Structures are given as C-alpha cells and as structure tokens.
Structure 1
Amino acid sequence: MDNNTILHSYQDWLKVQKMPAGKKKTLSAAVELFSRQGYNGTSTAQIAEKASISQATIFKYFKTKEELLSEIIEPLIPELKKEFLPKLKTYSKIEDVIHFIVQNRFRFLAQNADIIKIILQEILVNSGLRQSLMAAIQDTIIDDLKMQLSRLQNDNPNIVTYQEDCEVIRTGLGLLFAYFFQRFVLEISTQSEEKDLKCIEEQLIKLITTKV
C-alpha cells in the first residue's frame, strides 16, 4: 500500500486484513466517529450502532476503548518512514531536501487527516498515548532524521550546527503541524497552498543556515 494513503484509504486497508468481520466493522466505525466527534465524545454504544453490531462484539475484540484507539493508530507508525527516508537520502542540496520534506510530509498529513486529527486531539489529554506515541516516533524516524541532518551538515558547510539537532527537527515538525491544524482542524481556507508551503520551506532554510 502507498505509504501516503494508508489511512486515507483505511476502509480499503481493512478489507484486505485477515481479521473477523466484527472487528473490521468496529475499526471502520470508530475511525469515522473518532475523527468527527472526538475520542471522548464517542461512546462504544455509538460505535456499535454505526457498525450495526452489539457492544458485546466490540468488547470481544477490544478490552477497552483505549485499546481500540491504539489499534487504529498502530498502522501509522511504520508508514512514517517507509519510502520517505530512502527518498530523502537521494537529495544532497539543502533546498531540495527541505522542499521534499515539506511537500512529502504535508501530503502525508493531509491524506491521513482523519487519523491525524484523532491523534492531535488525544495527545493533548492522554499522557499514556502521548508517551507511547512519542517513543515510537523517536525510534521510527527522529533518530534517522538526525543522521540525515548530520549528513547534510557535512555536505553543506553553510548549515548551522545546533547544540541539539532535535531543535531543528521539532521546529520543522511544529511548522507543518501548525499549518495542518489551521487547514484541517480549524478549517481555515487558503488562497494558495503552494505559497503557504513555500513560506514554510523558506523559514526552515533560514533556520538551519542562519546563526541565531
């Protein structure tokens, strides 16, 4: 499956998974309701009604609603780096690297908007989920990004060396998530997405090539 569309086509992904029909119906209904109403605003009774199953069927496969949420989010983690990092390694010029990261990762966020919205809502209030998700992201992609940043610093002497490489990575992710939040959570329209993303690219290039 294309790494950029795993959750955009979540229903298609579920269809090919080897799991009982009741479990598939539960996951499908939960994704739709969590993204629209929020995790806390959705009851298992509503999920059961949406899926046309009983609550007993839900609890047959998921001991708690939190376990259900975890199973929805779980497929996202390996998709964060599949194909992205190998392609990233093919770029050496800093402008090309930043352009690829901003365009590729925003497309990933946009195409997986329903699940990303669920995650953003929950990490603000669910410390357990936040810690486990951050640990998974650290293991999955942050360390690799730090290695790529070091490679770029060797190839591009104009790149500033920060005491903490994570500072640059956090800033870049922060800019992308802020723009995603504006577009898909607050639903603020834009006259030109292309110009908006170009502005983010310029901010990142300035950040890593200008000593503060």
Structure 2
Amino acid sequence: MDKNNILGNYRDWLEHHQMPAGKKKTLAAAIELFSQKGYNGTSTAQIANRAGISQATIFKYFKTKSDLLTEIMQPMIPELKKAFLPQLKAHTNLEEAVHFIVQDRFQFLVQNAELIKILIQECLVNAELRQALLANIESAVTTDFADYWQILKENNPQLSDLSPLEVARINIGPLFAYFAQRFILNIPSSAEKEDLALIEKQILALLTLPHKDS
C-alpha cells in the first residue's frame, strides 16, 4: 500500500477496527462516495444504497451527514504526518530537506486531492473537525518538527532564527497555494517539475533571510 494514500490507509484501518457491521459498512460506503462525488454531491440515500443498508441504520450511528464525515476524517488527520516526519529526519542538509518536503508533500496532496478538498471545505464550517486538525498540526510542529528544526539549524548555519511554526508556514504556504491552483481552481500546468523547483527556491530564500538580530 502506498504510504501517502490516506484512502487506502483508512480502508485498512477500517477493515481491522472493531465496530458494528452496519457502522463499518456506512463508513466504507461514505468514504468511497465522498471521494468520487464530493461531500455535497453525496446523499445519505446514496450511501445506504452503496452499503446495502437502510438510511435508518445510518442514522442509528450518525445523527447527521456532517457527523459521519467527522468520524471519517478524524482518524485520517494523523496520516498527514505519519510517514512523513520519520523520513524527513533523515535529511540534515537544508537543500535536501526542502527538496524532500516539497516533493513528498506535493505527491501526498495529489494522491489525496479529493479528500483534502473535502477536509478543507468541511473545516470551514465544522468547528470540531477544524479544532482536531489544528491540534494535530500544532502537536507535530511543537514536538517532532521542533526537534528536527534544531538539528537542521546546527547543520546549516545559514538558516535564519525562525520558530518551528514560522518554518512550517514558510513550507506550507507556497506548496498549498500551488495545490489550490492545480486542484481547487483547476488551473493546469505544463511544467510541474519546473514549478516545484521554483517553490523549492522560494522556500530556501525565505529560510535563509538575514537573522533577526543582524
């Protein structure tokens, strides 16, 4: 299974997770339809039909379709960092680290584009899901990534004196903007390799700005 494929990882998690059969069928059908048709384009009637159950069974476990999505998304949120951070720690050279971040996270976004779009859309209106996502990101930045950033600074003296949160923003900003251009606004690119190389240069420039006290 591809380490970057949230949907595949979720299906594997669901297969081995203990829960009532009706609930498991609901979740499996919902994630398949959400990824194909989008959250707003999927009805509970369609989910019931795909799962081979009644709508009453769905509402036995989930009060609303939004509750169903929240239950699907929350186990997926840790996948945002699961395979990424351990591999990132193998890179102590700045250029290699930035190259890995841009290439790996862009492929992650591409492979999970439909689910990422659903997650973004729902986070705008679902406070519980938004808080879970922000808490997970904050945990990753202030623990695992903070330790790694300190090691990177020790090996790359040209780095600016930035906080781990500032570094995360610098890396996420241009990469996510490019993803939004390609997969939310549907603006095509004929030079993806060159686009990503430019993003790497932009990130490196921001990470090596003159120190705050210089």
Taking the aligned partners of 1:201 and 1:190, their CA distance within structure 2 comes to: 17
Deviation by residue 1:45-86 (Cα, 9 ceiling, x = unmatched): 332234342111112232332331122112322322323222
The equivalent of 1:123 in structure 2 is: 123
Deviation by residue 1:112-160 (Cα, 9 ceiling, x = unmatched): 2221111011122223321221012222x21222222222112111001
The equivalent of 2:135 in structure 1 is: 135
* Percent of aligned pairs sharing the same letter: 56
Question: 1:93 is aligned with what amino acid?
Answer: N
Of 5-14 and 194-203, more deviation after overlay is shown by: 5-14
Deviation by residue 1:154-186 (Cα, 9 ceiling, x = unmatched): 211100113x43122113112222222222222
**What TM-score, normalized to structure 1?**
0.85
Which runs of structure 2 are paired with 1:97-176 in the superposition (5 Å)? 97-139=97-139, 141-143=140-142, 144-162=144-162, 164-176=163-175
The equivalent of 1:186 in structure 2 is: 185
The equivalent of 1:195 in structure 2 is: 194
- Does the residue aligned with 2:6 lie in a helix, a strand or coil? coil
User: Where does the alignment leave 5 or more consecutive residues of structure 1 unmatched?
Assistant: none
Instruction: Give the RMSD, CA atoms, in angstroms.
Output: 2.4
The equivalent of 2:205 in structure 1 is: 206
Taking the aligned partners of 1:66 and 1:100, their CA distance within structure 2 comes to: 35
User: Where does the alignment leave 5 or more consecutive residues of structure 2 unmatched?
Assistant: none
Q: Are the aligned partners of 1:31 and 1:114 in contact in 2 as well (CA < 8 Å)? A: no
Q: CA deviation at 1:193?
A: 1.7
Aligned residues: 210
Taking the aligned partners of 1:102 and 1:208, their CA distance within structure 2 comes to: 14
The equivalent of 2:30 in structure 1 is: 30
**What TM-score, normalized to structure 2?**
0.84
Q: Are the aligned partners of 1:175 and 1:200 in contact in 2 as well (CA < 8 Å)? A: yes
Q: Are the aligned partners of 1:160 and 1:210 in contact in 2 as well (CA < 8 Å)? A: yes
Task: Classify 1:32/1:43 alpha carbon distance in 2 versus 1 (closer, same or farther; 3 Å).
Answer: same
Task: Classify 1:118/1:55 alpha carbon distance in 2 versus 1 (closer, same or farther; 3 Å).
Answer: same
Q: Are the aligned partners of 1:91 and 1:97 in contact in 2 as well (CA < 8 Å)? A: yes
The equivalent of 1:96 in structure 2 is: 96
Taking the aligned partners of 1:184 and 1:95, their CA distance within structure 2 comes to: 27
Task: Classify 1:114/1:21 alpha carbon distance in 2 versus 1 (closer, same or farther; 3 Å).
Answer: farther
